[in-house]
């Protein structure tokens, strides 16, 4: 307890607000444990050739953030840390067992936000901040935080118009020692709304646009291991890097190092969901999320579309409540940036996923995540690709995670 209040006091001083910041200081976080098994194997007729266990290990995650808010909420600031392999923006889990220590801790978020009196719906944020666009994880993993400027508008109401939301952002993706003439940034924006139909039905729709500037530099950063795609070592990406499918790993890595990513990323997204409260304890939801990369080119031109569609029963939002979700995932290699989308998916993947979660009491939860997947285009890189990973070409992959944790 002493430590928490110490950290809170530090934030109050660090953010320079003095007494004004002391009005409300909260500590939030999560401690999680899980066991992950990942198996890749042959598809179809070649199944007899066997399978390989890529991972079978206990893992842990921890995150803690201190959030301060001035009286009246005009100023907000947050500082947060989490566990994670260095350079992997989407992965907060580290191996629990092992010969050495845990893999590392990263400064996850440091941001300041301001709201003007009279337009409280509008918040301007500067610093390294979480992103408001996660939804299914098709384009943005929930763990991603990026530095930059973010303007977010959110208005809530009753009746037919339940929520209107919009955001624009300029985010800095510079990695390593960026060259001035080839900087990496992301321009982003989205607009969405939720409508209420009667008492128990809500319909939401949202469109977004994400424009990467600096694909060459980003590819070089991936080749040089400054930023990682999932847990892969430097040189690996599931985004298309080459037109020649037979080229070996060394040449692909070299191509990444010299030319960068094969496609540009100008990604248009759409998201829609319908939520029906069949009973107070049983909300049902159907949803669809689509991404199309207008910047895909070369070999990646054919690999520009990704989508996720599914249904969910229940919402694990408080003790005694649980949820089960079944979804179909199809993400072509260059539909989205594999550096930033959900770490269990990356790209060049199609499959079924089943997730379940139950909140027992307080913030304590237990859950399961499982996905059976195939490569969309086996000649490109992906799970078990023998040019980028141990394993075989043309694989199926089964990933299962049993999770438990405590959110506070």
Stretch that binds Ca ion, among 19-27, 256-264, 296-304, 393-401 (CB under 5 A): 256-264
Q: Which is nearer to Ca ion, 85 or 176 (CB)?
A: 85
Q: How far is the CB of 188 from Ca ion (least distance, A)?
A: 11
Q: How far is the CB of 398 from Ca ion (least distance, A)?
A: 19
Q: Which is nearer to Ca ion, 62 or 75 (CB)?
A: 62
Exposure string for 249-258, b = 16+ CB within 10 A, e = fewer: eeebbebbbe
* 167 in Cβ contact with 155 (< 8 Å): no
Q: Which is nearer to Ca ion, 46 or 183 (CB)?
A: 183
Q: Does 239 bind Ca ion (CB under 5 A)?
A: no
By residue count, the chain amounts to 408
Q: Which is nearer to Ca ion, 295 or 378 (CB)?
A: 295
Which of 30, 103, 211, 386 binds Ca ion (CB under 5 A)? It is 211
* 185 in Cβ contact with 210 (< 8 Å): no
Q: Which is nearer to Ca ion, 15 or 188 (CB)?
A: 188
Q: How far is the CB of 30 from Ca ion (least distance, A)?
A: 12
Stretch that binds Ca ion, among 43-51, 168-176, 259-267, 309-317 (CB under 5 A): 259-267
Q: Does 141 bind Ca ion (CB under 5 A)?
A: yes
Q: Does 136 bind Ca ion (CB under 5 A)?
A: no
Residues in contact with Ca ion, counted by CB under 5 A, come to a total of 9
- Beta carbons within 8 Å of 129's beta carbon, 6+ residues apart: 78, 109, 111, 113, 145, 146, 147, 148, 150
SS3 for 161?
Answer: strand
Q: How far is the CB of 37 from Ca ion (least distance, A)?
A: 17
3-state helix, strand, coil in the chain (%, to 5): 15, 50, 35
Q: Which is nearer to Ca ion, 41 or 87 (CB)?
A: 87
Cα torsion angle, 253, 256, 262, 264, sign: positive
Binding track, positions 56-95, relative to Ca ion; x by CB under 5 A:
----------------------------------x-----
Residues of this chain, 151-210, that bind Ca ion according to CB under 5 A: none
Stretch that binds Ca ion, among 32-40, 43-51, 260-268, 317-325 (CB under 5 A): 260-268
Q: Does 264 bind Ca ion (CB under 5 A)?
A: yes
Cα torsion angle, 299, 262, 340, 291, sign: negative
Which of 36, 143, 165, 353 binds Ca ion (CB under 5 A)? It is 143
Which of 266, 288, 377, 400 binds Ca ion (CB under 5 A)? It is 266
Residue 113 β-bridge partners:
76, 125
How many degrees, rounded to 5, is the angle at CA 104 between CA 108 and CA 37?
100
Binding track, positions 7-46, relative to Ca ion; x by CB under 5 A:
----------------------------------------
Q: How far is the CB of 219 from Ca ion (least distance, A)?
A: 13
DSSP 6: H
Stretch that binds Ca ion, among 4-12, 194-202, 263-271, 360-368 (CB under 5 A): 263-271
H or E stretch covering 218: helix 215-223
* 250 in Cβ contact with 200 (< 8 Å): no
Q: Does 343 bind Ca ion (CB under 5 A)?
A: yes
DSSP 2: H
Residues of this chain, 285-324, that bind Ca ion according to CB under 5 A: 295
Residue 110 token pair: 């440091």
Stretch that binds Ca ion, among 17-25, 52-60, 164-172, 265-273 (CB under 5 A): 265-273
d(CA 8, CA 326): 40
Q: Which is nearer to Ca ion, 200 or 266 (CB)?
A: 266
d(CA 106, CA 86): 7
Q: How far is the CB of 344 from Ca ion (least distance, A)?
A: 7
Q: How far is the CB of 295 from Ca ion (least distance, A)?
A: 5
Name the H helices within 247-364: 249-259
H or E stretch covering 222: helix 215-223
Exposure string for 318-341, b = 16+ CB within 10 A, e = fewer: eeeebbebebebbbbbbbbbbbbb
Q: Does 355 bind Ca ion (CB under 5 A)?
A: no
Q: Which residues bind Ca ion (CB under 5 A)?
A: 90, 141, 143, 211-212, 264, 266, 295, 343
């Amino acid at each position: 307890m002493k430590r928490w209040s110490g950290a809170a006091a530090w934030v109050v001083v660090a953010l320079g607000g003095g007494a004004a910041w002391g009005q409300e200081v909260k500590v939030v976080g999560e401690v999680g444990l899980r066991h992950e098994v990942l198996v890749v194997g042959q598809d179809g007729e070649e199944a007899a050739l066997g399978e390989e266990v890529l991972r079978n290990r206990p893992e842990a995650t921890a995150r803690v953030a201190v959030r301060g808010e001035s009286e009246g909420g005009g100023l907000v600031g947050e500082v947060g840390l989490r566990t994670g392999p260095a350079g992997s923006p989407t992965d907060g889990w580290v191996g629990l067992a092992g010969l050495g220590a845990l893999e590392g801790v990263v400064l996850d978020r440091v941001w300041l936000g301001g709201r003007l009196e009279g337009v409280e719906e509008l918040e301007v944020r500067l610093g390294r901040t979480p992103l408001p666009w996660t939804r299914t994880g098709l384009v943005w993993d929930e763990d991603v935080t990026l530095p930059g400027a973010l303007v977010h508008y959110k208005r809530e109401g009753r009746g037919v118009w339940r929520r209107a939301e919009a955001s624009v952002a300029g985010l800095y993706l510079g990695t390593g020692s960026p060259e001035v003439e080839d900087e990496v940034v992301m321009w982003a924006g989205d607009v969405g709304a939720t409508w209420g139909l009667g008492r128990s039905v809500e319909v939401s729709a949202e469109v977004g646009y994400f424009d990467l500037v600096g694909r060459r530099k980003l590819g070089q950063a991936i080749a040089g291991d400054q930023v990682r795609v999932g847990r892969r070592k430097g040189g690996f990406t599931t985004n298309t890097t080459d037109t020649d499918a037979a080229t070996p790993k060394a040449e692909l890595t070299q191509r990444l190092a010299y030319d960068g990513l094969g496609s540009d990323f100008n990604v248009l997204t759409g998201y829609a969901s319908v939520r029906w409260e069949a009973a107070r304890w049983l909300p049902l939801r159907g949803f669809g999320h689509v991404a199309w990369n207008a910047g895909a080119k070369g070999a990646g031109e054919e690999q520009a579309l990704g989508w996720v569609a599914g249904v969910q029963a229940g919402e694990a939002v408080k003790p005694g409540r649980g949820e089960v979700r079944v979804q179909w995932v199809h993400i072509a290699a260059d539909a989205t940036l594999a550096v930033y989308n959900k770490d269990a998916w990356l790209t060049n993947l199609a499959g079924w996923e089943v997730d379940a979660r139950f909140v027992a009491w307080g913030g304590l939860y237990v859950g399961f995540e499982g996905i059976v997947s195939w490569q969309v285009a086996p000649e490109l890189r992906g799970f078990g690709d023998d040019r980028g990973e141990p394993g075989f070409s043309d694989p199926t992959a089964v990933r299962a995670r049993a999770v438990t944790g405590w959110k506070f």
